[in-house]
Amino acid sequence: MSDTNVHDSVSTFAKSARSHDKCIVAVVGLGFVGCANSVAIARSLNNVVIGLDRDNNSGQQKIDDINSGVFPISSSDTFLLEEFQAVYSAGSLLASSDPSVLYHADVVVIDINLDADREEFILHNKLEVDINIFGEAMGTIGTHISPNALVVIETTVPPGTMENIVEPVLNDAFSKRGITVPPKLVHCYERVMPGENYLESIVSAGRVYSTSSDSDSEAFVSFLSSFTDTTLHPPVELSSWTASEMGKVMENTFRAANIALIEEWTVFAEAAGVNLHEVIAAIRQRPTHRNIMAPGLGVGGYCLPKDPLLASWASSNFFGLERMKWAENAVRTNEQMPVHAFELINEMSNRSPENRVGIVGISYLANVGDLRNSSSLYLMDLLRDHKYDVTWYDPYILESEAPVNRTSSFEVLTSVSDILVFSTPHRVFFKSEMIDQWSAYLESGGLVLDCWGSLHGALPKSFRFLDRIKVLGNGQNSGNE
């Protein structure tokens, strides 16, 4: 569809929604969160959704996909894909790159990205956050929305952004348009969990939010109730926007720091001849310690590697405090985890790049096809930099999405690898026919590095005592359980 056609379609779409007394919701940013959120909102018979993304190649691709009935993001959630088809067929979801369509919306949900430069941080210890780009996006929103629209910021932002950027920018845009009422602003963060229950994680996660007035709060909860079960999961209202913004980055910093803590203990346990997995299982018996993390290959995805940096940036840029050492250390430490795996591979191969390494799973998370900040990619880079011959297999990742040397099956991977690295614990890798293939590979003399400990436990007992399988975090070298 041409831009003019899309614009006309949106006007007809909005007129029809109005005549049926539906709430028109604009979702700005059709990425991992915005696409799924659009489906969640449009499923409700009360709502229709206009999705908005940027007028560039990747934005336009997502818009074209949505408008032609293709879900633009790779997802293993079949329920989400079915529900997308249902809202598409019902004509409840349309996408555009033209911000003037925002004027139709009763509610505008912001799901755009706000990035921190991890490379600058890791390499040069500098904190750089795209706050100006985010501010410009808010300016565009303020130029086009209806003065009565409820604006819901779901983007994860540095605490203080609502007060220092969003509100002043929208006020300014409103005053340029001669609008005298203040913008209706809500901060409410997303807790979506990519994977097989992605849509469910949106509609059934309890929300935390804050608004500037009681009437906005009522309007927001009523909107939320149209597509989430607010009776079963009542939203929690905090007393300020900054508190709600802080809630999000603190949740993720807590998790990143919990993971980072284990890095140190992994190295300690390996040197001390201790199986850290067994220690952690014992510690988890205490109700207060159930969420202690286990050793692994590291942290990936979009949020955990950046959200602690957003917090630290806000601390120094909005509040004149020192940068946050714990938050930053969590990111830095997690970044080191693939390096530790690389060192173990070096030991297993007697530091000989003659050994061919097969990576089993390259997605950052089990059972999803998402490569963002994946530790496996980082590990593959390290190995290639040291001249290892690296191949990989991941049923969730298409050849076009990832670097060279994909193999078409696990069987092929075993035939071209001297060492297999179990790097993403996708459920399919534990199927009985796969366990047979792992066993056959070990029987034929192959070496395995199990980065999560879970493969080791799934193998027949006789294999668990082989010295050809090394478990990250197990200093007993897998010899004993």
Q: What residues contact 319, with CB distance under 8 A and at least 6 apart?
A: 160
3-class SS at 182? coil
List own/partner pairs for 276-285 with CB under 8 A and 24 or more apart. 276/473, 276/474, 276/475, 277/453, 277/471, 277/473, 277/474, 278/481
Binding mask 184-203 for ligand NAD (x = CB under 6 A): ------x-x-x---------
Q: Which stretch binds ligand NAD (CB under 6 A): 50-58, 340-348, 379-387, 443-451?
A: 50-58
The whole-angstrom separation of Cα 283 and Cα 301 is: 27
Q: Which is nearer to ligand NAD, 159 or 473 (CB)?
A: 159
User: Binding ligand NAD by CB under 6 A: which of 46, 59, 217, 222?
Assistant: 59
Q: Confirm or reject binding of residue 31 to ligand NAD (CB under 6 A).
A: yes
CB 441 within 8 A of CB 459: no
User: Binding ligand NAD by CB under 6 A: which of 24, 93, 108, 137?
Assistant: 137
Q: Which is nearer to ligand NAD, 31 or 308 (CB)?
A: 31
Q: Confirm or reject binding of residue 111 to ligand NAD (CB under 6 A).
A: yes
Q: Confirm or reject binding of residue 384 to ligand NAD (CB under 6 A).
A: no
CB 210 within 8 A of CB 163: no
Q: Which is nearer to ligand NAD, 30 or 472 (CB)?
A: 30
The whole-angstrom separation of Cα 458 and Cα 430 is: 7
Q: Confirm or reject binding of residue 53 to ligand NAD (CB under 6 A).
A: yes
CB 48 within 8 A of CB 24: yes
User: Binding ligand NAD by CB under 6 A: which of 25, 26, 27, 32?
Assistant: 32
CB 377 within 8 A of CB 439: no
Which residue in 339, 335, 386, 380 sits closest to 361, CA to CA?
380
User: Binding ligand NAD by CB under 6 A: which of 28, 95, 131, 448?
Assistant: 28
Q: Confirm or reject binding of residue 169 to ligand NAD (CB under 6 A).
A: no
Q: How far is the CB of 160 from ligand NAD (least distance, A)?
A: 15
Segments of 270-369 assigned E as strands: 356-360
Q: Confirm or reject binding of residue 402 to ligand NAD (CB under 6 A).
A: no
Binding mask 201-240 for ligand NAD (x = CB under 6 A): ----------------------------------------
- How far apart are the two ends of the chain, measured CA to CA in Å? 61
CB 406 within 8 A of CB 378: no
Per-residue CA distances from 246 to 32, 100, 159, 329, 362 (Å): 22, 32, 5, 18, 31
Query: How many Cα atoms occupy the beta-carbon half-sphere of 247 within 13 Å?
Result: 21
Q: Which is nearer to ligand NAD, 92 or 156 (CB)?
A: 156
Q: Which stretch binds ligand NAD (CB under 6 A): 48-56, 283-291, 355-363, 377-385?
A: 48-56
Q: How far is the CB of 174 from ligand NAD (least distance, A)?
A: 18
State which of positions 241-270 bind ligand NAD (CB under 6 A). none
Q: Which stretch binds ligand NAD (CB under 6 A): 27-35, 178-186, 272-280, 373-381?
A: 27-35
CB 307 within 8 A of CB 233: no
Closest-by-Cβ residue to ligand NAD is 31
Q: Which stretch binds ligand NAD (CB under 6 A): 31-39, 162-170, 423-431, 463-471?
A: 31-39
Q: Confirm or reject binding of residue 77 to ligand NAD (CB under 6 A).
A: no
Q: Which is nearer to ligand NAD, 58 or 408 (CB)?
A: 58
Q: How far is the CB of 178 from ligand NAD (least distance, A)?
A: 24
Q: Confirm or reject binding of residue 303 to ligand NAD (CB under 6 A).
A: yes
Q: Which is nearer to ligand NAD, 190 or 263 (CB)?
A: 190
Please count the residues of this chain forming the interface with ligand NAD, following the rule CB under 6 A: 25
User: Binding ligand NAD by CB under 6 A: which of 10, 14, 17, 34?
Assistant: 34
Q: What one-letter code names the amino acid at 399?
A: E
Segments of 160-250 assigned E as strands: 184-188, 208-211, 236-237
Q: C-alpha angle 264/270/272, rounded to 5°?
A: 100
DSSP 8-state secondary structure symbol assigned to residue 149:
P
Residue with tokens 């700005």: 28
Applying CB under 6 A, the residues found at the interface with ligand NAD are 28-34, 52-54, 58-59, 62, 111-114, 137, 155-156, 190, 192, 194, 302-303
